[in-house]
Amino acid sequence: MSFRFTIAAVAVGLITTSGLAATAAPTTGTTSTVSTVAAAPARAKYVYLTFDDGPSTPYTAQILKILRAYGARATFFEIGRNVARYPSLTRRVDQMGNSVQNHTWSHPNLRKVSSATFRSQVQKTDRYIRAQTGYTPRCLRPPYGATNKLVSRRAAALGKSIRLWTIDTRDWSRPGTSVIVRRALANVHSGSVILMHDGGGNRSQTVAALPKILRTLKARGYGFTTMSCT
């Protein structure tokens, strides 16, 4: 199993952003606060790169190659049916020191499903990820960021912590490479969780933007680590 940083979990308030698509701004049905990130080590500045909706070909492998070139690690919130389709990619994500976490089986809005469907969506994905990585994900990222108190309770009953994001590049909308870069960097600070995608459509712009994002963050003194849900 890949080495993981041990990092303390803290609660971070949800932020809202405009627009809805394959993975859009976090939507909540209540005013409850959901933990979005584990705290970065105090000794250095860190950001959390996260990729949703994979694995997919060719984009996951391309992103992994770029991450390795820059000495960066990321957290991949994977769709279970994509893990079933590309198991070797999930295994490779893990073997290269990244974290593989749960993004449900088929990307439903978890606020609108029954308890039985919720459990099936999460546990089936767990099984397929565990078969490739040897561990059961502890983090759950609800599709669309759609969460509320009920979603949080159901996740906790399955041993999961909800993890969202603080910076949404909205790369799913294919706004252009330079726009993705600008959105990723505009309000970054230590502990930021940057949302991008390696699946769910054409992610060539995300792949093209990633080297500039990594170079700029490294030049600003940031390191990269994976999310913890202990």
Query: How many CB atoms sit inside 10 A of residue 41's CB?
Result: 14
Q: Write out the E strands in 56-155.
A: 75-78, 99-102, 139-140, 146-147
Measured from the Cβ of residue 186, the count of other Cβ atoms closer than 10 Å reads 9
Count the residues in the chain: 230
Both structure tokens of 36? 């979005």
Q: Write out the catalytic residue numbers.
A: 52, 197
Kind of pairing between the strands at 222-224 and 167-168: unpaired
Single-letter amino acid, residue 150: L
Q: Which residues pair with 146 in a beta bridge?
A: 27
Kindly state the DSSP code that residue 145 receives in the 8-state scheme: G
Give the CB-side neighbour count of residue 183, counting CA atoms within 13 A. Answer: 23
